[in-house]
Structure 1
Amino acid sequence: MPAPQSPAVPLPLIFGPFDPSGASHLPIDAVICAGLGAHAGSVATAIHVQDTAGTETIQRLSPELIDDQARCLLEDMAIGALKIGPQYDPETISTLAQIAADYSSLPLVLQLCAPPPVPDLEDLDPEETIGALLELLVPQAHLVVVDAGLPEQWASQGLLSSARADDPIGALHEFGAPLVLCCNAALGTGLNGLVLHARDQAGRRWPWPAPRVRTGDAESLLATVLCCLLARGLDPDQAIPQAVAASSALLERHFHPGMGQRILLHAQP
């Protein structure tokens, strides 16, 4: 008898740090994807030592290990989309950029973050890391997810195009990002939300719950949901509104498991 066919399950591939508290990044991304009917492959790029209060140390993994693991999965499974979460050094970013270039047909969701202030990264120049993100990964991203204040901060530090210092989103477009989804953007007095910036188009806006959890966790959640939907074959115009609705509902569920901050609850009720 012929072997039964496997069901068509979306297969996103997530690159990011391992967060042992389960608040964000790996392995919680796999839980989010499973809740959306997808099966996530994971490539750890760093291992955190952290709790619900914050990150104490970060152990970066070797670029060779990252490359080997990614290509094993990409050559084995029909991966449908990529998500790259926080990255901490130019060498890792260069490795990920080469992988993304070799699989450029796959949509890439890039979550932009500033390197955290931990002792393990003191040997690195944060401006070099941010420069590598902007020059190597942003041009390959189909969609960038970022806190609205971060491009403004980078522009004030002279890390974006000096010609676009008063338009940091325009500078990200010039680096090559066609779509930039800003979280925690000001929509009005006392009201924050999401703003989608497309090159040469008016921005689209959505309300966004005021997070009672760490802001970065909410951005990571949104980027992961987007990656799942793109892996399902949706285009960004279809995926973004659906991701906003799904993520907003998930943000309403959180709990307080330790002595630090509240974290998102992804367990089924």
Structure 2
Amino acid sequence: MSAPDSPAIPLPLIFGPFDPSGASHLPIDAVICAGLGAHAGSVATAIHVQDTAGTETIQRLAPDLVDDQARCLLEDMTIGALKIGPQYDPETISTLAQIAADYSALPLVLQLCAPPPVPDLEDLDPEETIGAMLELLVPQAHLVVVDDRLPEQWAGQGLLSSTRADDPIGALHELGAPLVLCCNATLGPGLNGLILHARGQAGRRWPWPAPRVRTGDAESLLATVLCCLLARGLDPDEAIPQAVTSATALLARHFHPGMGQRILLHAAS
């Protein structure tokens, strides 16, 4: 039996950890997508034990389970774009890279970040995890979103090309990423913002408010909004300015439900 006709609703697919507090990652990503008129598919790659104050433990899910869940959704729905959020081990990253390769026609928004310092990840070398992201996922990304400080830090650790140690963004371009959107970049004295680096072009800049929420992962919020817009069929030149405007508005609404950080207010006011 064929599926009934339905409106053309954008269908992003998001890979990342599950945060039970609803402050970040898959739960809030799904809500953000809904607010933008999209329906998010979710593939959990890890489960956090955490509250609004911080993460206590992380349980990584088996890569085979991640692969099975992703392919079920990709074979069932007309997914329009992919977002890969924080990942914690090379084996899962390798699985995601194969999925991305098999669906290379879909725009991929890659959020680059360092693994958090929690006991569950002590059996893993964080440099191996970062190296796997750079080697396997960056070459397939249509757009990389990253905190401005990380590429320089990784270049200093020798994780980016030694021949481009003085130009870590150039090194990301050489790895294959055509667009790199840096968060928390210095635009001037006392002014932070966003810089979009396109290969062979001058960087585009936008101011960015000093948020009271998502202060540690503004790049995740931007990556989710961008994935929704790309799933709608926009090209990056159209999507990025719209994402900046939408994300800025989202950051303005927040509340304080627990003893830790404030989180985005996504309920009706």
Deviations 1:44-84, CA, capped at 9 Å, x for gaps: 00000011111110000000000000000000000000000
- Please list every run of at least 4 consecutive aligned residues from structure 1 whose deviation after the TM superposition is greater than 4 angstroms: 1-4
What are the residue-to-residue correspondences of 1:1-269 with 2, within 5 Å?
A: 5-269=5-269
Deviations 1:75-103, CA, capped at 9 Å, x for gaps: 00000000000000000000000000000
Q: Percent identity?
A: 90
- Alignment length (residue pairs): 269
SS at match of 1:145: strand
How far off is 1:267 after superposition?
Answer: 2.0
Please give the alpha-carbon distance, in whole angstroms, between the structure 1 residues aligned to 2:73 and 2:223: 20
How far off is 1:196 after superposition?
Answer: 0.2
Please give the alpha-carbon distance, in whole angstroms, between the structure 1 residues aligned to 2:89 and 2:55: 17
Please give the alpha-carbon distance, in whole angstroms, between the structure 1 residues aligned to 2:261 and 2:245: 24
Please give the alpha-carbon distance, in whole angstroms, between the structure 2 residues aligned to 1:211 and 1:17: 23
Q: 1:2 to 1:154 in 2, by over 3 A?
A: closer
In the alignment, structure 1 segments of 5+ residues that lack a partner are: none
Q: 1:131 to 1:2 in 2, by over 3 A?
A: closer
Q: 1:251 to 1:114 in 2, by over 3 A?
A: same
Q: 1:108 to 1:3 in 2, by over 3 A?
A: closer
How far off is 1:157 after superposition?
Answer: 1.3
In the alignment, structure 2 segments of 5+ residues that lack a partner are: none
How far off is 1:218 after superposition?
Answer: 2.2
TM-score normalised by length of structure 1? 0.98
How far off is 1:268 after superposition?
Answer: 2.7
How far off is 1:2 after superposition?
Answer: 10
Computed over aligned residues only, the root mean square deviation of the Cα atoms, in angstroms, reads 1.4
How far off is 1:217 after superposition?
Answer: 3.7
TM-score normalised by length of structure 2? 0.98
How far off is 1:155 after superposition?
Answer: 1.2
How far off is 1:213 after superposition?
Answer: 1.9
Contact 1:23 1:217 in 2 (8 A): no
